[in-house]
Structure 1
Amino acid sequence: MGYVAAILLAVFAAANAQNNCPNIVARRGWGARPAKQVEYIIKPVQYVVIQHTVSPICTSMNACAERVRSIQAQHMTNLKFEDIGYSFLVGGDGNVYEGRGWHKQGAHTRGYNKNSIGVALIGDFTDTLPPRAQLEALKKLLECGVQLGELSEDYKLLAARQVVATQSPGLALYQELQTWPAWVEQP
């Protein structure tokens, strides 16, 4: 990591700590390509849709940044999205990687992109749960979103499999999410 990137990371970490937010690596910090087009959403957002990337887990900032760049490239090149589809991605290193962020409409869950934040956990959680650091970062991101007024205080937590034909976020993570306070059975 270069000197400038290290300084930016420290500044973002300090700002996030003041809000009890997880460490959020800004787009610049992971080397994002510019979005082709941006559409905004109205806040506070009512839904959070959780997915997994069905890729190997990453446990370091360098590995996670590389994985996020790869996902963005696939979304923009192969799927012809305007940008990475997710609002945020959570790495096994305990960092949250800004995708489209809080204010921009994602391309993560058909029918829910205009009124939700899409969060993908990097890895495949069909048979095993994400590492504790990854789950804690997700919890902190959701708490942070409420605290900042980005998420409605009574937001509804969903798994992608509840609203589209997919197995995401994997059975193990799906079962875990059902125990969280914001979980809803029906959107």
Structure 2
Amino acid sequence: MMFLKAVATMFLGLSFILLVALTSNGLVAQQVDPVARGEYLVNTSGCHDCHTPWALGANGPEPDMSRALSGHPADLQVDAQPELSEAWVWAGNPTNTAYAGPWGVSFTANLTPDPETGVLRDMSEAQFVDTIRNGRHKGQGRPILPPMPWPAYRNMTDEDLGAIYAYLKQVPSIRNAVPEPLAPVQ
């Protein structure tokens, strides 16, 4: 009887150690808050690199987090495509929110949930996922233009894209009407 108790105690102890080891290594599925997961993905996937206007800071150009994810500043006028010397040369503006190339001029979208100017204002989660999967607005509209790396992001899981959507729906709203893209100069 004593032997069985010792074996049972040892088995329970080893099971507990194994469970702790698997959990600490991420091998046991965890319930993750989608908003927290979305924040992590937005902050590690380069979203701020283009969708947050850059400004000159103490260490040089950096994202202006007071305008986080608000896209190309509406007050920064771009009227025409700059003249580019070669067919596949591109140019970007100092805020890192407007890009010119053979596709014309593209402007980064306002990803905040602003009800008047945010790109997600009338987009469902399914449409957001379709947008990233298909490279078209709401999954069926005009093509998403360079330099948006949607061909890489479309490889994210539905859960990750849903988490990004959940996070973007709750970030502070910033009213900023981003202009429509400009057609290429012929």
Q: Same fold (TM over 0.5)?
A: no
Task: Please report the TM-score for the alignment, with normalisation by the length of structure 2.
Answer: 0.26
Q: Which has the higher strand share?
A: 1
Rg (Cα) greater in structure: 2
Q: TM-score, normalised by structure 1?
A: 0.25
